[in-house]
Structure formats: C-alpha cells, structure tokens
Amino acid sequence: MFKIIKVLLLSTLIILQFNSKIYSQKKQKAELFQRQVDAIKELQKKAIYPKKFQYWLKDAKYLKSFNIDKKSDWYLKKKKESDSAIKSLKSSLNVKEYFNILTNISMEKGWNIDYIYKGDGSGSYPILFTFKGNKFNDWDKIYKKYNKESSSLHSEKYIDYLNHIRCDGTSDGFFQYVALSIIGSQFALGWHANYHDDRIICTKKTLNKILKLKDEKWYKFNDEQIACAKKIKILPVITFNENKVKVRVVIFTKWGGFIERIYHIKKSNPYKFIKIENNVLCKYDCGIMF
C-alpha cells in the first residue's frame, strides 16, 4: 500500500511539474506577444496627426453643393495645406516598419503595403491597402474605391489588405496576423474614429495597468468591474485543426469593456477570417460620445 501511495504521489508531482512548465511557457509567449503589440503602439505614436487635412477636397458632391471653384486661390491654399499635412503624416510613419516587429508575418511576394488617409463627416483615419510592385501611383483610383465605403473601420473592405499578408504557419504568425488586423490602422485618428480603440491584452501586468488608470473622463472603474476583470483568463490561446486556426485574445475598449474575441482563420494561403466571435467578459463604458 505504501508503495502504491508513493507511486501516486510521484505521478501527481510529475504532472504538476509538467503543467507548471507548460503554463510558464504560455506565460512567456504571452509576454512576447504583449511586447510586440506594445512596440507597434509605440511606433504609431510617431505619426503626425494631419490637423489641416481637408477631406472635402476630394468630395465632388461637396464641392458642387457649395459651388467651390477648384481654381480659386482659397481652394488652392486649402489643398496645399492639406497635401502638406498628409505628406508630414506619411513621412512620420511607414507601415512597412510593422514587419520589423511582427517578424512571423510578411507581404506576399511581389506585393507591397501603404495607406491613404480618409475623412468624412464622422472623422478621419488611415486605411491600409496593398498593391503589386514597388511603387503606387494611382492615388485617385484608390481614394475613389474607399470613398464609396461606409466610415466603419471594421468594414471588410478596410481590412482586405490582409489578403496579401502571409505568415509562417506558427502560433506566433497567426497571433501577429490577428494583431495587425486589430491595431494596424490605430494611428492619427480624428473625432469619431477614436472609437476604434481596441487594446490587446496578453498579460496580467497590462490588465492591471489599465485597471489602475485614473482619469475621470476616460477611466473610472468601479469595484465590481475591477473584481470582474481580475478573474479574466488573459493569456492568448492559439489552436490548430485540420482546416482552420482559432486565435483567442482579450481586448479592452472604452466603449464596451473587456471582450473575448475569437478569430476563426482559414489555415492555408490566402488567409481569411471565417468567423469572428465577440464575448463581453466585463462591461465598461466611459460614457463619452463624440
């Protein structure tokens, strides 16, 4: 009997050590993911917000409605100021630099990535797009394409650049693919576009940083919300099956709270989101409306 108990205790110890090792590895991976996400956010801070950008300059209906002469000195001055603002933005942030951080994903061979800056009555924001070759020149065509779309940054048309992003097939690669889709265009946002604030949380440390933020305007968590958030299983989970990959991440938005987002992704090139699930874990709303 003593020998049986000894064997059972030893087996339990081995299992506990194994599980502890697995958890430690997952935690280290989560910390790596968090560093990558944070590095992208730091890079985006370089973006110079184009204060003098005028979206209506490319809106034919607007110009016609207000009988604006495109040859007038006033129009040409506004256009020059707007073009200069966009030039400063584009020179301050090159989105190709993302791939220096997200090293498990890359552009499809022969394709490149850039962005335009769009505005409408609800705000202004960048839209990433891909093109074949090394240099893109048909700017009027690309502006015309996206000006037909709604202002929702979650529109499928606004993330179609992902069709030409490739990953190395690892869990790191699929996490980075998802991360790019969430935060890739989170820079130089104006007005209503600031609702696009999804923040990826991979570690308890990052979660606690958010919960400790003190700002009566944006962050005012009550005790119940804090207690709820601290119970969340934060670590990202990436699982593979025969035809698809499932990536589970937790995000925080000031207009919704802590949300579990599960991406179901086609496993082979070209990658595609098959389904995206959103499960609210802890509700929160800052109460600010633009």
pLDDT tens-place values along the chain, 290 residues long: 666 666 556 655 555 554 555 667 889 999 999 999 999 999 999 999 999 998 888 777 888 888 989 889 999 999 999 999 999 999 999 999 999 999 999 999 999 999 999 988 778 999 999 999 988 877 777 877 776 654 454 455 567 899 999 999 999 999 999 999 999 999 999 999 999 999 999 999 999 999 999 877 899 999 999 999 999 999 999 999 989 999 999 999 999 999 999 999 999 888 999 999 999 999 999 988 86
Amino acid at 194: N
In a domain, 75, yes or no: no
* Residue (of 156, 28, 39) closest to 100 by Cα position: 39
The C-alpha atoms of residue 221 and residue 210 are separated, in whole angstroms, by 10
Question: CA 49 to CA 47: how far, in whole Å?
Answer: 6
- Classify burial at 50, counting beta carbons within 10 Å of its beta carbon; exposed 0-12, middle 13-18, buried 19 or more: buried
Residue 53 covered by a domain? no
Closest residue by Cα to residue 236 from 211, 264, 200, 267? 200
Domain-located, residue 87: no
Which helix (H) or strand (E) is 44 found in, with range? Answer: helix 2-44
Residue 71: inside a domain: no
How many domains in the chain?
Answer: 1
Q: Is residue 77 part of a domain?
A: no
Q: Find the helix or strand (DSSP H, E) in which 101 lies.
A: helix 98-101
Q: What is the pLDDT of residue 2?
A: 62
CA distance 171 to 128: 24
231, part of any domain:
yes
Q: Residue 21: what residue type?
A: K
C-alpha R_g of the chain = 23
Domain-embedded: residue 270 = yes
How far is CA 230 from its chain centroid?
A: 23
- Does residue 73 form part of some domain? no
> Contact 252/258 with Cβ under 8 angstroms?
yes
Residue 175, domain extent: 2-47+93-285
